[in-house]
């Protein structure tokens, strides 16, 4: 009889791959930990019947002693599963925070590997527990609904590459049980117990306290919240796409938005339009304070001067709010 944990991981992967064409190439991000190892095993099993070729990418960040041996061991496990292994060594500049820098380097390596392999999708081993932690971290940052929506189970980037997270509905004990049932020895990353990292503190301190004080099911509730907010965000995105065509126009060295149209929209939509315009044009995510200051150019116009934003400047001229790249002539 098939072990329930193995069955759960295979079903999750089968569902995630349902829109991937037979005969495609997919990559699994494999650290060697229980989540990614269970993902690799399930993907190898599900892909076999559909002629999908599976590769495993292990990213060596070089952040701990013996990382090269750990990476080679993960690659060996991939090969044992019938998966083509690839180890990529990356340099991590921790100036802006070690966690963020390592994540950026890792995703860059995965994107490059996917491009080289002409892969249709990259599969990531994030679980429901990871989702709950992400929501709590977003809440602590006050980053708004987009951040609280957590990680999407499926998204397509600007290169057309799909990023799939089949295990967002599964708890960590399920992935570990699947590895045990399959006789796979998972690696325990010591960084996952290092309380220098905010995510570890959430995992080891915050979530257990919430479970104790508020009762079980907190992680599931946070994951449901993320799912609901993703639905809301998708609806807002559709509204923004419909609205933005009528109120945005290109201007010299930037983009301009109708102040009257912004003011006529409800605050939630107005603020999202502002953030979307700046993100799309300049690649910058505005904070709430910055967004509200720009919104005042439309709703509380009293002749105030330009607003300095990261990478751009916002200023009102007549009926338009202009967003101009830094280094270009300032609007007056």
Tell me the range of 22-26, 73-77, 249-253 where mean pLDDT is highest: 22-26
Instruction: Count Cβ neighbours within 10 Å for each residue of 121-156 and write b for 16 or more, e otherwise.
Output: bbbbbbbbbbbbbbbbbbeeeeebbbbbbbbbbeee
Which residue is listed with tokens 């010299």?
A: 252
Do residues 59 and 112 make contact, with C-beta atoms less than 8 angstroms apart?
no
Residues 157, 108 contacting (CB under 8 angstroms): no
Report if residue 48 sits inside a domain.
yes
**Among residues 114, 178, 149, 177, which one has the least CA distance to residue 237?**
149
Is 157's pLDDT higher than 60? yes
The percent of residues above 70 in pLDDT, for the chain, comes to 94
Q: Which residues are CB-contacts of 257 (< 8 A; sequence separation ≥ 6)?
A: 247, 248, 273, 274, 277, 320, 321, 323
Say if residue 67 is in the same domain as residue 195.
yes
- Provide the number of structural domains found in the chain: 2
What value does the mean pLDDT take over residues 118-130? 96
Determine, yes or no, domain membership for 230: no
Domain of 131, in residue numbers:
4-219
Mean pLDDT confidence for 163-184:
97
pLDDT higher at 33 or 190: 33
61 with 11, same domain? Answer: yes
Of the three residues 197, 219, 241, the one that is the final residue of a domain is: 219
Q: Phi/psi class of residue 179: alpha, beta or left (left: φ > 0; alpha: ψ in -120 to 50)?
A: alpha
Domain contains 111: yes
Same-domain check for residues 201 and 263: no
Considering the domain architecture, whether residues 114 and 55 belong to the same structural domain is answered as yes
Domain membership flag for residue 225: no
Q: Give the range among 114-128, 183-197, 265-279 with minimum mean pLDDT.
A: 183-197
Choice among 95-109, 113-127, 153-167, 193-207 with the minimum mean pLDDT: 95-109
Q: What local confidence, expressed as pLDDT, does residue 331 receive? A: 45
Kindly state whether residue 239 falls inside one of the protein's structural domains.
no
> Both tokens of residue 51?
């002629």
How many Å from the N-terminal Cα to the C-terminal Cα in the chain?
74
d(CA 105, CA 124): 15
Lookup: tokens for 40: 């690799």
The whole-number average pLDDT for the span 8-35 is: 96
In a domain, 330, yes or no: no
Q: What is the pLDDT of residue 234?
A: 79
**Residue 235 belongs to some domain of the structure:** no
Say if residue 131 is in the same domain as residue 270: no
Same domain, 90 and 187: yes
Q: Are residues 175 and 119 in the same domain?
A: yes
Give strand pairing partners of 320: 258, 317
Q: Would you place residue 149 in the very low, low, confident or very high pLDDT band (cuts 50, 70, 90)?
A: confident
Which of 195, 219, 243 lies at the terminal end of a domain, its last residue?
A: 219
CB 305 within 8 A of CB 269: no
Q: What is the mean pLDDT of residues 301-311?
A: 92
At a CB cut-off of 8 Å and minimum separation 6, what does 172 contact?
A: 34, 35, 127, 129
Residues 52 and 165 in one domain: yes
> Band of the pLDDT at 147, cuts 50, 70, 90?
low
Q: Are residues 171 and 279 in the same domain?
A: no
In tens, the pLDDT along 207-234 reads 999 999 998 999 999 999 899 888 887 7
Answer yes or no: are the C-beta atoms of 233 and 247 closer than 8 Å: no
Task: Indicate whether 126 belongs to any domain.
Answer: yes
Tell me, what CATH number does 175's domain have? 3.40.50.620
Q: What CATH number should be reported for the domain holding residue 278?
A: 3.30.465.60
Q: What is the mean pLDDT of the chain?
A: 89
Q: Model confidence over 39-66: pLDDT tens digits? A: 999 999 999 999 999 999 998 876 676 7
Give the residue from 209, 211, 214, 129 showing the smallest Cα distance to 176: 129
Residue scoring higher pLDDT (6 or 194)? 6
- Which of 140-144, 316-320, 324-328 has the least mean pLDDT? 140-144
Do 315 and 172 sit in the same domain of this protein?
no
Which of 219, 243, 276 is where one domain is finished?
219
Structure tokens at 206: 């915050």
Whether residues 144 and 272 share a domain: the answer is: no
Q: Is 267 in the same domain as 200?
A: no
Q: Predicted confidence band at 332 (pLDDT cuts at 50, 70, 90)?
A: very low
């Amino acid at each position: 009889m098939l072990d329930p944990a193995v069955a759960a991981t295979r079903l999750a992967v089968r569902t995630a791959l349902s829109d991937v064409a037979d005969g495609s190439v997919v990559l699994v991000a494999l650290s060697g930990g229980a989540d990614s190892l269970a993902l690799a095993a399930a993907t190898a099993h599900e892909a076999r019947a559909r002629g999908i070729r599976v590769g495993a990418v292990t990213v060596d960040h070089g952040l701990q002693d013996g990382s090269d041996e750990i990476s080679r061991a993960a690659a060996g496990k991939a090969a044992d599963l019938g998966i083509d292994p690839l180890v990529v060594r990356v340099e991590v500049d921790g100036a802006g925070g070690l966690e963020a820098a390592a994540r950026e380097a890792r995703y860059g390596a995965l994107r490059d590997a996917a491009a080289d392999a002409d892969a249709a999708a990259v599969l990531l081993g994030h679980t429901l527990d990871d989702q709950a932690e992400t929501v709590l971290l977003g809440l602590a940052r006050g980053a708004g609904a987009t951040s609280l929506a957590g990680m999407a189970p499926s998204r397509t980037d600007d290169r057309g590459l799909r990023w799939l997270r089949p295990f967002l509905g599964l708890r960590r004990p399920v992935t570990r049980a699947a590895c045990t049932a399959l006789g796979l020895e998972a690696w325990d990353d010591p960084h996952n117990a290092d309380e220098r990292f905010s995510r570890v503190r959430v995992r080891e301190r915050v979530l257990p306290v919430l479970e104790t004080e508020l009762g079980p099911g907190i992680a599931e509730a946070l994951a449901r919240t993320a799912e609901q907010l993703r639905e809301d965000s998708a609806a807002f995105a559709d509204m923004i796409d419909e609205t933005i065509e009528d109120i945005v126009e290109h201007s010299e060295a930037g983009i301009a938005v109708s102040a009257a149209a912004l003011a006529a929209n409800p605050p939630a939509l107005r603020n999202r339009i502002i953030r979307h315009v700046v993100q799309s044009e300049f690649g910058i995510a505005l904070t709430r304070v910055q967004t509200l200051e720009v919104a005042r150019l439309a709703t509380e116009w009293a002749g105030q001067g330009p607003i300095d934003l990261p990478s751009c400047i916002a200023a009102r001229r007549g009926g338009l709010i202009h967003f101009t790249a830094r280094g270009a002539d300032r609007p007056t």
